[in-house]
Amino acid sequence: MDHRFQDQQYRLSDFQQEVAVICPVCTKKATAKADYEAQTVRLICTHCGHHREVSNCLTTFGIRAHYRTAAHVYLDLPLWYETSFKNEVFWAYNEAHLLYLEQYIGAKLREHKDRTYFTVLEKLPKFYHDSKNRDALLKIISKLKNKK
């Protein structure tokens, strides 16, 4: 098995447009999808059929504007892939993000291209990088992957 990990230099913004959230109606997994061009954010639950659409307007520091942030923020919904780990919170925006973290945490050898200080991996809290947390984190990830 190849444990080398090639950092694909993802940024959080690469994952934020489609976010897995907890459906406010049936509490199952729903999807929040932001369309920054159309300035709308759509919530779709395939389990119960709940859906709604909001604008991507947010008020920050008293200024109302179209901000580009993670899709669930506009809907004010909790993330589906989120769980506590020790005194920290482990989370991922969506399955692709979760799998990316799994790949990173599971890798024994890590390669980084030129550091930009903006990628997902470089922004992670310290506990993600701590090799003594590896097994526990992988367990959490596998639990989240099978969450229903």
H-run or E-run covering 115 = none
Interacting residue with Zn ion among 47, 112, 115, 145 (CB under 5 A): 47
Q: Cα–Cα distance between 127 and 101 in angstroms, integer?
A: 12
Is the Cβ of residue 45 or residue 121 nearer to Zn ion in the bound state?
A: 45
Q: Cα–Cα distance between 34 and 77 in angstroms, integer?
A: 13
Interacting residue with Zn ion among 34, 43, 45, 120 (CB under 5 A): 45
Minimal distance, residue 146 CB to Zn ion, in Å: 19
Interacting residue with Zn ion among 19, 21, 23, 105 (CB under 5 A): 23
Paired tokens of 117:
């200080």
CA 93 to chain centre: 2
For position 78 contacting Zn ion by CB under 5 A, the verdict is no
Q: What length is written for the chain?
A: 148
Positions touching Zn ion (CB under 5 A) are: 23, 25-26, 45, 47-48, 50
